[in-house]
Amino acid sequence: MFDIKSIFSSDGVLSRHITGFRTRSQQMEMAQAIADTIAQHQVLVAEAGTGTGKTLAYLVPTLLAGGKVIISTGTKTLQDQLFKRDIPNVRAALKVPVTIALLKGRANYICHYHLERSLQDTHMSFINREEIHYLQQIESYAHISKNGDKSGLSEVPENAAIWQQVTSTRDSCLGSECPSYKKCFVMEARKQASQADVVVVNHHLFFADVMLRDEGLSELLPACNTVIFDEAHQLPETASLFFGESISTSQLLDLARDSKVEAIQSAGDFEGLPDAIAAMEKAARDLRLTIAEENTRFSLAVITQNTNFSIALDNLLEKLIVLTQLLESQAERSEGLENCWQRANNHSLLIKRWRDEAETQGYVRWIEVYNQALQLNATPLSIAEIFQRQMASSLRAWIFTSATLSVKNNFTHYTDEMGLSGAQTACWESPFNFAEQALLYVPIGMPEPHHKTYTDYVVQAALPVLRASRGRAFFLCTSLRAMQRVYELLLSVEQFDFPLLLQGQGSRSYMLERFRELDNAILIGSQSFWEGVDVRGEALSLVIIDKLPFAPPDDPVLSARIEKINHEGRNAFMEYQLPRAVINLKQGAGRLIRDEGDRGVLMICDPRLITKAYGKQIWQSLPPMRRTRELTEVEHFFKAATVNNREE
């Protein structure tokens, strides 16, 4: 058995090989707990505060234990960081000969079949000149690339529309029937994964593959000794998504696009097909147009009161069934037409089931409306039993880790929601000195958050703090509407010379780059900047949170879950809504202190932190910062920080 203590000691192998390594008792204890969990094939839920070094704490015992490992992360950014930097560094330090593979979802790899189809398509009137130039670059890249990962072609923007034409989805992949199957980039990535000791995936791929029994991770998992979920606080949301059913107008428009290409190339003499495709495509667009709002959710009860929606849904189903029948009659003419027929048939079954089935026991039906699309969803009210069944399939270690999983070191909310009732739980506090490094400020005189001009009050309270911090702030809002209002109000302030950056003005990585470069900017954001963002040093010295991040109670999935918990005689607010808000708040607050040298103020504008009985439970779950309600103390904190920096 390996000796964790000596590896993590100040003169151990990590100290000698990894730049900036420091011995931390929390990291050492966490690594030992993970080593024990792996050895005994147990389940561990581990919270590690910012700065603990949880990545090394799980990588060291995992690589030394041997066997096959799946590491699942919350984002592709963290996935790339593990694959390109963290695992190679630890492997080199420990001198263990483990092989690693990176596995992403299909949409990240060029599909030879769809690329060929796009190049042959002479009717690409829907693609502009710029997209055609991108298509040529993708064609050249596909010939020379070993992995076909679109992230390797930086000349073509990640959000370019052409990517949809040259990659496959679960629906449009032809599988083993594909003429290009033998040189398929996705299959090659999966082959590499099947042979590697450590496979790095993300949560979306894990659940999509394993739970839908796709031919990817579902083959890897039986041979796997250890599964590690990093950023595990995201799992309940992701699992709910994949344990349910959904069908979107985007999928139907993709089907129309692919059917058009296949019809031209393999069934040009069959006259009925183009009209049926056009009719279904129009019906899908018409369904989206029955709802004026965007970026919102509706319950089944609310949406069925919209007679235009119900009529448009019936019309879409009718047109889709006609198209399905015509595609079936031509399916044998090409693998592509066969695939389009299967997709059309599956889509019509999903829509019919969503429309016709009485409220399925344990599921809630609802719709989500985006800018261009609309999605029909059926989501389980509880994922615990489904996830338990997946975990029970064979003996292995399961590790769930994040900086935010507990409420005052209590994990009940998380373990109940995920079905991890028998799991070991452990919590390691951050090694940072929060009492010295940070100040929690709740301003006096704020109205209740439901007040109609609440956001205006937030900005008024924030202005003197922003001046004291000399910008250098994240202004985090709980809604897009509040975010927009904050931006407008700050823009209108006279003699306020700090650069303002608004979420959506560029990609997240671009916005962060600008924020660091400017050095005195105020970045106004919503959900995108609450987590997974790391700005160290003085550039970020203030985090303002407009209100406690309770999910809107009219959200159809949340309200159905609240109803279920209350119906069982339990308290949904204390058991479900409050813990979720605490975990979200901890994520937002976690942006502030990222390093031992960081100093800053966390300003939470919501008076409920002070006035409500549950407020104490919330702030006691935050890192142990000094607390104040006095603006003068905040100003003094920033002045002292400036003096200290000059002296240094």
pLDDT tens, residue by residue, 204-227:
988 887 766 655 556 667 678 999
- Res 474: pLDDT: 97
Q: What angle do CA 382, 590, 7 make, to 5 degrees?
A: 95
Which superfamily does 4-105+187-242+382-428 belong to? Answer: P-loop containing nucleotide triphosphate hydrolases (3.40.50.300)
Tokens at residue 306, please? 């919209």
Q: What angle do CA 406, 408, 414 make, to 5 degrees?
A: 20
Closest to 87 measured CA to CA, from 96, 4, 75 = 96
- Measured from the Cβ of residue 315, the count of other Cβ atoms closer than 10 Å reads 17
Question: Residue 623 in contact with residue 593, Cβ under 8 Å?
Answer: yes
Cα separation, 488 vs 171, in Å, equals 42
Question: Residue 88 in contact with residue 163, Cβ under 8 Å?
Answer: no
- Res 393: pLDDT: 75
State pLDDT tens for residues 232-286. 999 999 999 888 899 999 999 999 999 998 998 898 889 899 999 999 999 999 9
Residue 646 pLDDT greater than 60, yes or no: no
- Measured from the Cβ of residue 438, the count of other Cβ atoms closer than 10 Å reads 23
Which carries the bigger pLDDT value, residue 124 or residue 515? Answer: 515
CATH topology for the 245-380 domain = de novo design (two linked rop proteins) (1.20.1440)
Q: Do domains 4-105+187-242+382-428 and 434-647 have the same CATH topology?
A: yes
Q: Which range, of 19-28, 387-396, 427-436, 481-490, averages the lowest pLDDT?
A: 387-396
Question: What is the identity of the amino acid at 164?
Answer: Q
Cα separation, 156 vs 571, in Å, equals 51
- CA separation, residue 595 to residues 309, 365, 483 (Å): 52, 44, 27
3-state DSSP assignment of residue 542: strand
Question: Residue 153 in contact with residue 191, Cβ under 8 Å?
Answer: no
Question: Residue 565 in contact with residue 410, Cβ under 8 Å?
Answer: no
User: What is the CATH code of the structural domain delimited by 434-647?
Assistant: 3.40.50.300
3-state DSSP assignment of residue 72: strand
Question: What is the identity of the amino acid at 456?
Answer: D
> Please, which pLDDT band fits residue 358 given cuts at 50, 70 and 90?
low
Dmax over Cα atoms in the chain, in whole Å?
82
Question: Residue 247 in contact with residue 91, Cβ under 8 Å?
Answer: no
Burial of 224 (0-12, 13-18, 19+ CB in 10 A): middle
Task: Give 75's DSSP letter.
Answer: S
State pLDDT tens for residues 524-542. 999 889 988 889 888 999 9
- Res 122: pLDDT: 60
Q: Which residues pair with 368 in a beta bridge?
A: 297, 375
Q: What percent of the chain has pLDDT over 90?
A: 75
Distance from CA of residue 167 to its chain's centroid?
Answer: 21
Question: Residue 531 in contact with residue 590, Cβ under 8 Å?
Answer: yes
Number of H helices, E strands in the chain: 30, 18
Residue 395 pLDDT greater than 90, yes or no: no
What value does the mean pLDDT take over residues 380-397? 88
Domain boundaries defined on the chain: 4-105+187-242+382-428, 109-183, 245-380, 434-647
Residue 364 pLDDT greater than 80, yes or no: yes
Q: What are phi and psi of 374, to 5 degrees?
A: -140, 140
